[in-house]
Amino acid sequence: MGDHRPSEGVSRRKPWFLSLARRYVRSRMRRSFDGVFVSGLAEARRAVESGPVIFAANHVSWWDAFAVVLVDQALDAKSHCLMDASNLANLPFFGWIGAVPIHRDDPRAALTDVRGAARLLDAPGDALWVFPQGRQRPAHLRPLGFERGVTVLARLTARPVVPVSITYGFRERPEMTLAIAFGEAISDAGAGLAATLEERVEAGLDRNDAFLVSGSGAYAPLIEARGRSGVPISGRLLARLGGARA
């Protein structure tokens, strides 16, 4: 990793590009999902307003980056997100919406990156998103396998860590529904932080499952569901063709 350059904690966010990205993300997710729903948003917004916050989420798919952009706007936060350095090098425009690199394959470089990212948590409204699993994993697999970087980050910054649970599920349409649950903030950055964080993220995943199955829980739409009535035109045409032949 001789070509690694230490992170200075300098934001590359470009407001004009972020504005375009937010509109694109909302349009893309509206086309691709049967609704995006979130619980605990008001509490998370109050946490961001009172001081810098670390959001720690399970990592399910590449859609997670879109989810962060969508939720960041709803939080009215100035968010950054740790992103694998090689992926960010291939997709540098993510830096313009707040991604900062972490070199996961080099522990010393990764620690430097975490220290640099910690400098971005300076004032109320600042938020840093991390995915402690370090890789994509189905939401139902246990244990979640959180790595220790989030504990190091919490100790460096003395900032609360808010658990975020992300679940993609199918209901009554071919498109997935996305459910996101914010949990209770963790202020103790002691040795048990990672275990407590996993427990609270898992509890949020359980709440997401209950919502997707039965609609239970206090979830508000960031993007409305498509609705349950009606059959797509292609299905109606096939049904009519089948009926005519019969």
49-86 pLDDT tens trace: 999 999 999 999 999 999 999 999 999 999 999 999 99
Overall average pLDDT of the 28-33 stretch: 96
Q: What pLDDT shows up at residue 236?
A: 54
Spatial separation of the C-alpha atoms in residues 73 and 87, rounded to whole Å: 23
pLDDT band at 3 (very low <50, low <70, confident <90, very high): very low
Q: Which CATH superfamily is domain 15-245 in?
A: Glycerol-3-phosphate (1)-acyltransferase (3.40.1130.10)
Dmax (CA) for the chain in angstroms is: 71
**How far, in Å, CA of 151 to CA of 188, rounded?**
10
Query: What local confidence, expressed as pLDDT, does residue 172 receive?
Result: 87
pLDDT reading at 134 higher than 60: yes
Domain boundary assignment for the chain: 15-245
Going by pLDDT thresholds of 50, 70 and 90, the confidence category of residue 243 is low
CB 80 within 8 A of CB 101: no
35: left (phi over 0), alpha (psi -120 to 50) or beta: left
Question: Worst-scoring range by mean pLDDT, 4-8, 41-45, 235-239?
Answer: 4-8
Higher pLDDT, 68 or 188: 68
β-sheet bridge partners, residue 161: 54, 186
